Chain A
């Protein structure tokens, strides 16, 4: 019985559900940034090269901008604490309307410990490779060289 319990825990899937869309996109952005930087903790995930990760960042950027521009997100003081754990200080600062909050979030983002970013990216790597978003980004990514 204990063995069965342990088995079921070890195969539990980590998914992206429960995250807002913008947070999900930001997670992927953080993950791809670190892959493109060659961070060894995440480079093996998804079989992506650094160059490939960079090309996926462009359509991701477009999606993030689109989502932020919907205006449906409200950033409040609580996010200043939350972001230290979820690594979203940067995107929260992009969204925040209140200038003081924006500045405070930005300060956190600009000095955010890299170790924490890596830890967040490792969590993302557990689900991102199989997520439909990942396939969509690959389809949308354009080759840098002229294709005509």
Chain B
């Protein structure tokens, strides 16, 4: 590489590594809890993860089914990020080469490989923060005699397995984990906690390399292989690569006013009003028909048949406990083109639950439903609407990249068994509102009849100024976000 190219590449990397605080990626990605990297949510930039968030993540990991595996997966994730970053660095180097050859320059704003590097840097930085925090918490737990012995044993077991992996002899893993080890060791030495008193030197993460020369030599020896692996992974279309694509697509450099370009979208996963669809900002005459609490093999199927006959599509908010039981109904609804979303595991009152309960009702249910639907779950509705204004619940929903959905027409079909009375009530509310989201439940016979009658009534407005257009939630969100862009 010529001196000029080397200088340019080095300058770019230095800039990358040191100046990320100057250029703020507008979507600083929130790290997923596991290195399987369930698609992280996109949120407003912040300089670092708060103590509260780190604590929440740690508690959730310890309460998960396999905390050891969850923690070890972080390391796999870190390695993945490192390898892909190497591949993007190679791409960026090529761009620079081409620019020099053409006597032109590379613009950071338009360079995709540069934006991807920034994304990987941020992901890596935040994951290392999280791992360090978890490691320190586990160390404290392992030596905290006030804790029951089984908790201390668990912490020690997790730490032991984690350290074994951290001390891997594999050259690529040595390079991937080197900085992390240094960070953890530094933190342990500086803290005045139980860990510093109780840890032996052998328990402190040690440097992977004897010196910088050895590190550089290993890097040069294996760089080509790392970049090749990184490229294969980056091109694999897996969740991480999709996330990186998605973030870099939307990435813009924030101007001096610090505007958040993401606010140009109407709806996106967020704890703010943009992350909650009620239908109040829908175009006039546009309605989303929604059904909660299924799937039910009898009533859901009947509803789908009616909607099919009437040529409209709806959105179903289901309970994971029912999804598991009625996969054929799940498949039927998907095949007919309706949208499927999440309504929790068991219809619990979410504000009454602790972190473990919420993990099951929100996180695990989403995972189950994603597998069942064969696609990511985009929308969530809290049972009884309870939790819609509770920050920790809304955050959990947004962190899973879901948008919360409320309603502005309540048919009360769960209380009222009379279909005609339900229809009368719904019509009244729809006529008053003009647009929005209608709430039914696909577990009651009266809802089957009432929703059919309601849609039939809506068709009487065809060709008039009061024409009603029924949409699914994915459709209207895409439409409104597309219009705003």
Contacts and interface: CB of A to CB of B under 8 A. Distances in A.
Interface string B376-403: 0000000111111101001000000000
B410 A54 contact: yes
Nearest to A107: B417
Nearest to A110: B417
B416 A142 contact: no
B273 A37 contact: no
A94 to B, nearest CB: 9
Contacts of B419: 110
B306 interface: no
Interface in A106-139: 106, 109-112, 114
Given A33-B412, A57-B410, A148-B271, A106 B385 contact: no
A11 to B, nearest CB: 33
Contacts of A89: 417
A62 B384 contact: yes
Contacts, number: 84
Interface residues of B, number: 36
Given A58-B385, A146-B272, A148-B391, A112 B412 contact: no
A58 B428 contact: no
A4 interface: no
A57 B388 contact: no
B412 A59 contact: no
Contacts of B407: 144
B167 to A, nearest CB: 43
B385 A142 contact: yes
Interface residues of A, number: 31
A36 interface: yes
Contacts of A143: 388-389
Given A61-B384, A145-B276, A37 B389 contact: no
Given A36-B425, A93-B417, A110-B419, A145 B412 contact: no
A36 B388 contact: no
A38 B428 CA distance: 10
Contacts of B23: none
Contact of A148 (B278, B280, B386, B394): B394
Interface string B253-283: 0000000000000000001110110101000
Contacts of A109: 417-418
B218 interface: no
A90 B415 contact: yes
B415 A29 contact: yes
Contact of B388 (A29, A62, A146): A146
Contacts of A30: 415
Contacts of A90: 415-417
Interface string B428-463: 100000000000000001100000000000000000
B276 A146 contact: yes
Contact of A144 (B278, B416, B424): B278
B408 interface: yes
Contacts of A65: 347
13 contacts: A29-B415, A33-B412, A36-B425, A66-B349, A90-B415, A93-B417, A106-B417, A112-B418, A142-B388, A144-B406, A146-B271, A146-B276, A148-B273
